[in-house]
A and B are shown apart, each in its own frame.
Chain A
Amino acid sequence: MTKLLAALVPLGIVGMIAFFLFTGETGDRLFRGRSELGDAFSRRAVRSEPPNRLGPGTRGLENAAANTVTAIVLDYRGFDTLGEVTVLFAAVAGAGLALFGRRRRRGKSAPGTPSSLILTAAAPWVFMFLFVVGFAIVLHGHLTPGGGFPGGALLAAGLVLLMSASGHESSARRLHLLEGLSGFAFVAVGVAGLVWRDSFLAHFGDAGALGAFWSAPVTILLYLIIGLKVSAELTNAVRTLANVEDPTTEEMP
């Protein structure tokens, strides 16, 4: 009963945030109308004077991401980003391999002092804040500075905070599954571009209006995939480090 109540509190708060985000004026801006954030950024980033008659709301573009850097990173140079994600994966896998075989045995409690009261009391609230802000940064990657890499790192920081506060570790299997699935999804989106358009990772579908939240759908999708992948990878890396056997108790060979 206490557990159920404890679970209801954060769920209620997340639900409230979601309600305010997705309904009313904010929801209108996010999903139906134009995003003020995107408008402001496209005004700053794209000149509306001739000869470039572009501005907030321009339609019929190849890639309508208001953040031009994102359009380059995920569309025109999307293959480089796939390589970058692979490099990150290789780095985490390498760290895991170097520390492999030094895992702590299951069931043995973590050494050291228990987490402090400040950490355990604040962690769920800070986690919720980091979770919402992280997803906001990931989902607005095509409009504002940020995107999948910093947003994913923010999500990972929240997970690590929760992990160090509770003493529980996130499930390695779930993290590996999320990591593998998002890596697969990235390539799948690339192949879809090859099928529906002319090249790997080409932007398919209606690009939408410049500055709108629902513009450049493939870019949103790719940044969401990257955000999930980065968060899973970084959390996994820290988890592996936290699991390494204590050298003071280890017998020297």
Chain B
Amino acid sequence: MTWIILLVCIPLVVGAVAVVTVRDLLSAIILEGVVSLSAAVLFLVLGALDVAITQAVVGCGLTTAVFLYSWRRLPEKAREVSHD
């Protein structure tokens, strides 16, 4: 059980770090979806079914869709993040 949780936590942590370090905004949005999906799997493993469903739908699906719609409106030069 602990090993499964640790296994699910790997994409969660790696993805969370990648979201804030990656330069391309589109990649960051998709990575945020991956983090949400890993969190949903983690909730599923821990037995919180309703939280897992909500996390998968709202966190991974709808939030990513809203971010993508906003991304589509951005001018070309705003789509890359500079980490100064």
Q: How far is the CB of A160 from chain B (nearest CB, A)?
A: 5
On whether the beta carbons of B50 and A147 are closer than 8 Å, the reply is yes
The answer to whether A111 touches B72 (Cβ under 8 A) is: yes
Any A CB within 8 A of the CB of B65: yes
The one of A153, A237, A241, A247 that contacts B57, using a Cβ cutoff of 8 Å: A153
Q: Number of residues in B with C-beta < 8 Å to the partner?
A: 17
Q: Are B69 and A241 in contact, with the CB atoms below 8 A? A: yes
Q: Does B83 contact A (CB under 8 A)?
A: no
Say how far A245's CB is from chain B's closest CB, in angstroms. 8
Q: Is the CB of B70 within 8 A of A241?
A: yes
Q: Which residues of A are at the interface with B, using a C-beta cutoff of 8 A? A: 111-112, 137, 144-147, 149-150, 153-154, 156-157, 160-161, 164, 234, 237-238, 241-242, 244, 246-248
Interface residues of B (CB under 8 A from A): 48-50, 53-54, 57-58, 61-62, 65-66, 69-70, 72-75
22 A-B residue pairings within 8 Å (CB atoms): A145-B50, A146-B50, A146-B53, A149-B54, A150-B50, A156-B57, A157-B61, A157-B62, A160-B61, A160-B62, A161-B61, A164-B65, A234-B62, A238-B65, A238-B69, A241-B66, A241-B69, A246-B73, A247-B73, A247-B74, A247-B75, A248-B75
